[in-house]
């Protein structure tokens, strides 16, 4: 058997992970931006567990045999973020000081910041997602620390932008692959 016939081609899990992230982020960000009240949180939690958490974790696991450390780290981590967020809201909301919640968000921002740095040789669309996301986390953390509703709301709007960018990249990867050409540009990665 030749090497060409023995190689296994793995499907690209990124569109799944990006879509799970985008949809969940959009729903939560509508609440953070003030478009909907906390009464809508139940649906966010359901989606966070099923799509944002579980589907992203599956995408992260699918990245492992592909040898994609970045993709595995990102999808497994943000999948875990959604699970931790859902568990927090379900069982700990109102029992943890806001300043500590701010640290939770800030540390996710730190993680996202270094993932953004790691993305700087990737497609521009991916870079923009991580840029918008670390700003989102820092704004939400600042909103928790200061109690200023406008800062929290700004974090919600940045989250909406992040979700749009993630939806775009997910769509681009699916559409470009199915058409076997670039239909939706993602911005060429920087060369080494």
The answer to whether 184 and 176 are in contact (CB under 8 A) is yes
Nearest 5°: the CA angle 83, 84, 86 is 65
Q: How confident is the model at residue 6 (pLDDT cuts 50, 70, 90)?
A: low
d(CA 148, CA 171): 35
**What pTM, to 2 d.p., does this model score?**
0.93
The answer to whether 109 and 134 are in contact (CB under 8 A) is yes
Q: Is 192 exposed, middle or buried (0-12, 13-18, 19+ CB in 10 A)?
A: exposed
What does the block give as tokens for 139?
A: 């704004």
Q: How many CA atoms lie within 13 A of 15 on its CB side?
A: 13
What does the block give as tokens for 69?
A: 């450390």
CB count, 10 Å around CB of 88? Answer: 15
Q: Which residue has the higher pLDDT, 57 or 6?
A: 57
What does the block give as tokens for 80?
A: 């875990």
Q: How confident is the model at residue 188 (pLDDT cuts 50, 70, 90)?
A: confident
Tens of pLDDT along 70-126? 999 999 999 999 999 999 999 999 999 999 999 999 999 999 999 999 999 999 999
The answer to whether 169 and 138 are in contact (CB under 8 A) is no
**Beta strand ranges found along 46-161 (DSSP E):** none
Tens of pLDDT along 92-101? 999 999 999 9
CB count, 10 Å around CB of 22? Answer: 23
Residue 96, by phi and psi: left (phi above 0), alpha (psi -120 to 50) or beta?
beta
């Amino acid at each position: 058997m030749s090497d060409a016939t023995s190689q296994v081609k793995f499907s690209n899990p990124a569109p799944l992970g990006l879509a799970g992230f985008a949809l969940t982020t959009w729903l939560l960000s509508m609440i953070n931006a003030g478009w909907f009240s906390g009464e809508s949180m139940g649906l966010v939690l359901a989606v966070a567990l099923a799509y944002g958490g579980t589907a992203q974790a599956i995408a992260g696991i699918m990245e492992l045999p592909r040898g994609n450390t970045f993709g595995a780290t990102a999808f497994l981590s943000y999948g875990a973020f959604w699970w931790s967020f859902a568990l927090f809201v379900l069982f700990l909301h109102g029992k943890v000081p806001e300043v500590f919640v701010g640290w939770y968000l800030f540390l996710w921002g730190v993680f996202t910041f270094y993932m953004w740095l790691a993305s700087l040789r990737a497609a521009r669309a991916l870079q923009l997602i991580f840029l918008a996301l670390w700003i989102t986390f820092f704004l939400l953390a600042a909103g928790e620390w200061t109690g200023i509703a406008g800062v929290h709301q700004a974090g919600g709007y940045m989250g909406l932008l992040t979700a749009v960018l993630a939806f775009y990249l997910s769509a681009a990867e699916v559409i470009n692959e199915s058409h076997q050409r670039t239909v939706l540009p993602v911005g060429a990665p920087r060369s080494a």
